[in-house]
Structure 1
Amino acid sequence: MFKRAFSKFFDPKYYTLLRLIALSAMKQKNKPGKIRISGFKIEYNDIRALMGMYHEIIYQDHYRFATGSEKPVIIDCGANIGLSVLYFHRVHPKAQILAIEADPAVAAILRRNLEANGCAATVIEKAAWSNSDSEITFGQAGADSGSIFSTENVIRVPTIRFKDILDEYPSIDLIKMDIEGAEMEVIEDCYSSLDRSKYVFIEFHSFPQREQRLERILELLASRGFRYKVLQARREERPFMQDITKQEMDVQLNVFFSKN
């Protein structure tokens, strides 16, 4: 335990995280910029959002998975500005990566970050949904929390049926899904195709005005042979004392599904 506690002081990623925390305290929300971190050239739209992504993706190494394939297939649904895509590209240089991002402003940054770092992932600029060839309202948050359920800066974006994407692949190594609350509708439509993948990551979001349906997601993936681990995505003190009516989002969890 003590070895693990002190090892972070010898990890360059720890000091990069501290740097991002300091910058987050100094800079305004939704203020764009550019930075070099851990060998990546990153354009961002919000330094606090980038700090959170770095902590989870790079520092905690949450998305690492085992594969015997030299060219694993990775579908990143909700790729945001592309830090996760760049991480996958670094760990698996020959991977076939598909990045899906609904927000056109964020997708533009995603494309520039991929180009700046020599990553040739395929980008789909549509909202993953339960049907295709339609449009859906989408609230642009300016950072990492744009959502079809947000009422801020609402635009209309084209949709693509996520199940149709999955069905194009005979096998998939990892599906990452971070689509800010739309996961329930998408999973209910595509769960029968999820077992093409050995690993599935879902960031679960709960909104006070909507029914909580985490148990349904767990049930659907368990029916396809997955086991799961649930981790808290954001730390919250005194949960019983929180007034959820004043929160835009009351629960955020990282759920890791895998097959034996």
Structure 2
Amino acid sequence: MNIFIELWRAILKTTRLPLSISQKFHLIFVLTKLAFLKIVAKKQTPAKVRLFGFEIVNYNYRLLDYLVKEVFVGFEYNFSAKTQKPVIFDCGANIGMATIFFKWLYPEATIYAFEPQTKTFEFLQQNIKNNNLSNVFCYNLALSDEEGTITFYESDSQNLMGSILEDRVVGTKIEVKTKKLSDFITQKADLIKIDVEGAEKLIVKDLVENKLLSKEKIDQIIMEYHHKIPNQKSSMGTFLKPFENNNFEYQIRTDFQQLGIFQDMLIYFF
């Protein structure tokens, strides 16, 4: 898609966001700046932009622009906490864009951020350090249903993407350290955000086995669910059952274009 068509669509979405007029103008300015930088500075590494007072770096401007649109224009991780000091788990933190979004929403939040991919984790650490974000704890590991190691596929295409599923990523096969999310939940979680490219079933299995998938332990979950992964049978009904059994309601946000193809589904559990 043409860069300026993408920009125009993002601007239209921005005008409908629940932001002040000055915030909308600022976001539109940043989007316009990124559109031009994707053209004139596309090979610059690292790419850098200031957004709502945060300095954010990424591998290149294409990736940086994509994440700004996904998180700050898409507003996918917007949520209402019952406290000004929520406890948040960012599972699949990538470079920290969602973590920064959460700190923008709730400056006093405590955030635990998990990212297994080495280069991506370096950007995550840099973004936390550059913005002096307090009470943000970063872990270079994958979350699973058991502690140990797991085969991980790390992209070779400079898109900072990784997955435990070979069909999700074309790249290098490595081994990464795993831990259970349940080991980190020592108090009620106000939000758990999960975007782990196919490993969400393992995380949920761990929470169920350790009796943490309950409204008493977790207030809200925002999860990217990966549907119709190649060579895998559909199992969404089975996946949702533990949430229904533990009194979670849910809403599903997704697009549909063609039968039988991979589909990202954003599920809000509350």
Scaled to the shorter chain, the TM-score interval is 0.7 to 0.9
Q: Partner of 1:205 in structure 2?
A: 226
Q: Does residue 240 of structure 2 align to residue 218 of structure 1?
A: yes
Decide whether aligned partners of structure 1 residues 160 and 208 sit closer, same or farther in structure 2, where only a CA change above 3 A counts: same
Matched pairs, number: 241
Structure 1 residue corresponding to 2:179, chosen from 153, 157, 160:
160
Correspondences of 1:89-128 after superposition (within 5 Å): 89-120=103-134, 121-128=136-143
Classify the secondary structure of the residue corresponding to 1:50.
Answer: helix
Q: Please tell me whether the aligned partners of residues 141 and 177 of structure 2 are also in contact (alpha carbons under 8 angstroms).
A: yes
Task: Give distance in 1, aligned partners of 2:230 and 2:182.
Answer: 28
Q: C-alpha offsets along residues 55-109 of structure 1, whole Å, 9 cap, x if unaligned?
A: 2321232222222323110010111100111111122111111101111211111
Q: Please tell me whether the aligned partners of residues 47 and 64 of structure 2 are also in contact (alpha carbons under 8 angstroms).
A: no
Classify the secondary structure of the residue corresponding to 2:132.
Answer: coil
Task: Give distance in 1, aligned partners of 2:164 and 2:113.
Answer: 18
Q: How far apart are 1:21 and its partner, in Å?
A: 4.7
Q: Please tell me whether the aligned partners of residues 203 and 252 of structure 1 are also in contact (alpha carbons under 8 angstroms).
A: yes
Task: Give distance in 2, aligned partners of 1:111 and 1:26.
Answer: 27
Q: Does residue 201 of structure 2 align to residue 184 of structure 1?
A: yes
Structure 2 residue corresponding to 1:8, chosen from 5, 15, 19:
15
Decide whether aligned partners of structure 1 residues 165 and 55 sit closer, same or farther in structure 2, where only a CA change above 3 A counts: same
Q: Partner of 1:69 in structure 2?
A: 83
Q: Partner of 1:247 in structure 2?
A: none
Decide whether aligned partners of structure 1 residues 131 and 49 sit closer, same or farther in structure 2, where only a CA change above 3 A counts: same
Q: Partner of 1:135 in structure 2?
A: 149
Q: Partner of 2:263 in structure 1?
A: 251
Decide whether aligned partners of structure 1 residues 37 and 93 sit closer, same or farther in structure 2, where only a CA change above 3 A counts: closer
Q: Percent same amino acid at aligned positions?
A: 27
Q: Please tell me whether the aligned partners of residues 193 and 222 of structure 2 are also in contact (alpha carbons under 8 angstroms).
A: yes
Task: Give distance in 1, aligned partners of 2:118 and 2:111.
Answer: 19
Q: Please tell me whether the aligned partners of residues 17 and 59 of structure 1 are also in contact (alpha carbons under 8 angstroms).
A: no
Task: Give distance in 2, aligned partners of 1:27 and 1:204.
Answer: 34
Output the amino acid matched with 2:202. E
| Structure 1 unmatched runs, 5+ | 245-249
Classify the secondary structure of the residue corresponding to 1:202.
Answer: strand
Q: C-alpha offsets along residues 209-257 of structure 1, whole Å, 9 cap, x if unaligned?
A: 222222222222111111111111xx56x414x7x4xxxxx11111111
Q: Please tell me whether the aligned partners of residues 31 and 46 of structure 1 are also in contact (alpha carbons under 8 angstroms).
A: yes
Task: Give distance in 2, aligned partners of 1:25 and 1:215.
Answer: 44
Structure 2 residue corresponding to 1:47, chosen from 61, 64, 70:
61
Task: Give distance in 2, aligned partners of 1:7 and 1:34.
Answer: 21
Structure 2 residue corresponding to 1:230, chosen from 230, 252, 257:
252
| Structure 2 unmatched runs, 5+ | 1-11
Task: Give distance in 1, aligned partners of 2:90 and 2:176.
Answer: 18
Q: C-alpha offsets along residues 135-189 of structure 1, whole Å, 9 cap, x if unaligned?
A: 11111124353101135112111000122223x22x1100000000011122122
